[in-house]
C-alpha cells in the first residue's frame, strides 16, 4: 500500500491530497457506518493541547471530506481518562463538551460516542479478558486519527496505541497491570482494524504523551495511509525512532509476517529524509518539569510500563501545581511510587504511594503516605503532598490560594500557567487549531 506525506498548508485541500495520494477512500462505501477515533484521551483546558490531542482543524477537515464523499452515517468516538480531573474540568465529566469536537459534530450532523459508557463486547486478548467498544468492532469503516508524538512508555503513540481508547476504563488498566502493555496493544490491533489512518502532525511532541512533561513543536505534516503498521513505521521514523525498536510494532510485524523496513513502503508526497527529526521519548521528570520552578531534591524513577495514564496524570499535575505554589520546598528524601512495579527505598511520610496499585503493593509500609484511588483525584494528591511536606503554618497560604484557583479553573475564570509553557505563547502555536 501507500503512505502519503503532505505538508499542511492550513487548508482542507492538504488533507484531501493526503487522502487521495494513498487512495484512502478506496474501500469506503457511501452507505458505510463510519467511526472516527481521534486522540482525546487526556484533554484539560488549562494544559496546552499542542501535540497532545488531535486538532479540531484536522478532524473538521476529515468529517467534511467524508460528507462530500456522500457518507451520512458518521460517528466520532473516544474514551477519555475519567475520575482524575473531573472536579476541575467539564470535559472529564461530559466527554467532548468544550473541546471543539462537539461543535464539529453539530456542524456536520455526526454522532458523538463516549466509549466509557459502552456498550462493550468481551473478548480475550492473549488470555486477558477485556471489554472493547462495540462501536469500534461493528463499524464498517474506521478512521484512526492519532497525533504525531512520542511516549514515555511505548516510545511512540500513533495509530496502534490510539485504539487503546476503545477499551473500558478497567480494561485500559489491565493493559498495564498485566505487564504486557506492548503485547496487548499489538493484539488489540488484530481485533480492531483501522481502514484509514491519518496522523495529525500539525504539531509533534517530544517526551510525550502530553505537555505536562513533554515539549511540543510545530511540524505541519499529515501522514496518511490504509495500513496502520506502515503509517506507524513512517511516523516513528520521522520522530527519529527506529520502528523495529517499538515493541508493539515489532511484535505485530513478527506475528503477521510483515516488514518494518521503511525502504519497502511506497511513500508519496514529501521526501521522508527531509522530515526526519531526532526526538527523545524518555523524560526525566525532575529535570524536564521542575527545574524552572527551583525545586530542590526531587528525583523520580521511571515508572516502567505498568503505570497507567490516570495515576501518571494525577501526580504529574499535582506536582506542577504544588511546586509552583511552594517553589522552595526541599524534596530531599521524597519518593513517589505509582503503579504496581516500583518499591520505595524508605518508609516515611515523604514516601508517597500514589494510587491503589502502589498502596496494595506496599502494604508492609507503616509510615508511608497513602493516596488511594484508581486513579486518585487531583485534589486528594495535592492535599497529601501539602500535609506531608509542609508544616501547618506553611499550609495556610497555599491552601487558600489553591482552593481559590481550583474554583476559578472549574468555573472557567482562571487558567494556570507554568514557566515551561511560556513557549506556547508564540505565534507558531495556534490555539484556533483546537
User: How confident is the prediction for the chain on average, in pLDDT?
Assistant: 89
Determine the pLDDT at residue 309: 75
Determine the pLDDT at residue 312: 79
Determine the pLDDT at residue 233: 98
DSSP 208: -
pLDDT tens-place string over residues 413-422: 667 777 889 9
pLDDT tens-place string over residues 11-40: 999 999 999 999 999 999 999 999 999 999
Is residue 75's pLDDT more than 90? yes
| Cross-strand pairs, 301 | none
Distance CA 253, CA 223 (A): 20
Phi, psi of 225 (to 5 degrees): -175, 165
Characterize the bridge pairing of strands 266-269 and 2-7.
parallel
pLDDT tens-place string over residues 231-279: 999 999 999 999 999 999 999 999 999 999 999 999 999 999 999 999 9
Phi, psi of 215 (to 5 degrees): -130, 125
Span of 112-121, 170-179, 204-213, 225-234 with lowest mean pLDDT: 170-179
Asked whether 242 and 149 are in contact (CB, 8 A), the reply is no
pTM of the model: 0.90
Distance CA 184, CA 174 (A): 9
Interior CA angle at 306 toward 302 and 307, to 5°? 65
Determine the pLDDT at residue 87: 45
Q: What percent of the chain is predicted at pLDDT more than 90?
A: 66
Is residue 204's pLDDT more than 80? yes
Element (H, E) at 133: strand 128-133
Query: DSSP letters along 213-253, please?
Result: T-EEEEEEEEEEES-HHHHHHHHHHHHT--GGGSHHHHHHH
Tell which residue, 185, 284, 273, has the closest CA to residue 228.
Answer: 185
Tell which residue, 69, 149, 63, has the closest CA to residue 100.
Answer: 63
State in Å, rounded, how far the first CA of the chain is from the last one: 31
pLDDT tens-place string over residues 82-141: 655 544 444 444 557 667 899 999 999 999 999 999 999 999 999 999 999 999 999 999
Amino acid at each position: 500500500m501507500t503512505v502519503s506525506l503532505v505538508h499542511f498548508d492550513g487548508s482542507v485541500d492538504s488533507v484531501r491530497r493526503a487522502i487521495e495520494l494513498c487512495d484512502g477512500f478506496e474501500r469506503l462505501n457511501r452507505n458505510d457506518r463510519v467511526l472516527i477515533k481521534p486522540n482525546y484521551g487526556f484533554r484539560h483546558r488549562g494544559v496546552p493541547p499542542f501535540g497532545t490531542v488531535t486538532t479540531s482543524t484536522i478532524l473538521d477537515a476529515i468529517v467534511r471530506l467524508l460528507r462530500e464523499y456522500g457518507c451520512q452515517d458518521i460517528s466520532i468516538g473516544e474514551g477519555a481518562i475519567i475520575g482524575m480531573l473531573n472536579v476541575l474540568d467539564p470535559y472529564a465529566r461530559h466527554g467532548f463538551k468544550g473541546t471543539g469536537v462537539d461543535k464539529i459534530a453539530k456542524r456536520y450532523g455526526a454522532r458523538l460516542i463516549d466509549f466509557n459508557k459502552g456498550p462493550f463486547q468481551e473478548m480475550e486478548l492473549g488470555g486477558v479478558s477485556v471489554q472493547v467498544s462495540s462501536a469500534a468492532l461493528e463499524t464498517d469503516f474506521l478512521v484512526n486519527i492519532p497525533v504525531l508524538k512520542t511516549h514515555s512508555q511505548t516510545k511512540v503513540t500513533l495509530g496502534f496505541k490510539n485504539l487503546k481508547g476503545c477499551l473500558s476504563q478497567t480494561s485500559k488498566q489491565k493493559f498495564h497491570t498485566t505487564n504486557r502493555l506492548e503485547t496487548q496493544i499489538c493484539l488489540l490491533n488484530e481485533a480492531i482494524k483501522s481502514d484509514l489512518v491519518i496522523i495529525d502532525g500539525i504539531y509533534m511532541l517530544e517526551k510525550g504523551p502530553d505537555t505536562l512533561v513533554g515539549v511540543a513543536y510545530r511540524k505541519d505534516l499529515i501522514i496518511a495511509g490504509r495500513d496502520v503498521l506502515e503509517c506507524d513505521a513512517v511516523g516513528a521514523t520521522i520522530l527519529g525512532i527506529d520502528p523495529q525498536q517499538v515493541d508493539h510494532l515489532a511484535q505485530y510485524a513478527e506475528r503477521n509476517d510483515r516488514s518494518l523496513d521503511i525502504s519497502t513502503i511506497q511513500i508519496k508526497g514529501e521526501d521522508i529524509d527531509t522530515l526526519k527529526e531526532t526526538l527523545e521519548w524518555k523524560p526525566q521528570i525532575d529535570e524536564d518539569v521542575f527545574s524552572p520552578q527551583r525545586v530542590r531534591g526531587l528525583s523520580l524513577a521511571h515508572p516502567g510500563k505498568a503505570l497507567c495514564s490516570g495515576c501518571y496524570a494525577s501526580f504529574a499535575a499535582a506536582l506542577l501545581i504544588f511546586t509552583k505554589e511552594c517553589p522552595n520546598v526541599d524534596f530531599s528524601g521524597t519518593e513517589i511510587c505509582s503503579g504496581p512495579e516500583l518499591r520505595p527505598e524508605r518508609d516515611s511520610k515523604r514516601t508517597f504511594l500514589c494510587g491503589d496499585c502502589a498502596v496494595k503493593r506496599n502494604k508492609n509500609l507503616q509510615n508511608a503516605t497513602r493516596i488511594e484511588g484508581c486513579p486518585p483525584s487531583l485534589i486528594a494528591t495535592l492535599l497529601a503532598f501539602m500535609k506531608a511536606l509542609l508544616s501547618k503554618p506553611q499550609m495556610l497560604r497555599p491552601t487558600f490560594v489553591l482552593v481559590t484557583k481550583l474554583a476559578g479553573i472549574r468555573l472557567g475564570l482562571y487558567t494556570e500557567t507554568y514557566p515551561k509553557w511560556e513557549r506556547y505563547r508564540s505565534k507558531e502555536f495556534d490555539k484556533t487549531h483546537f
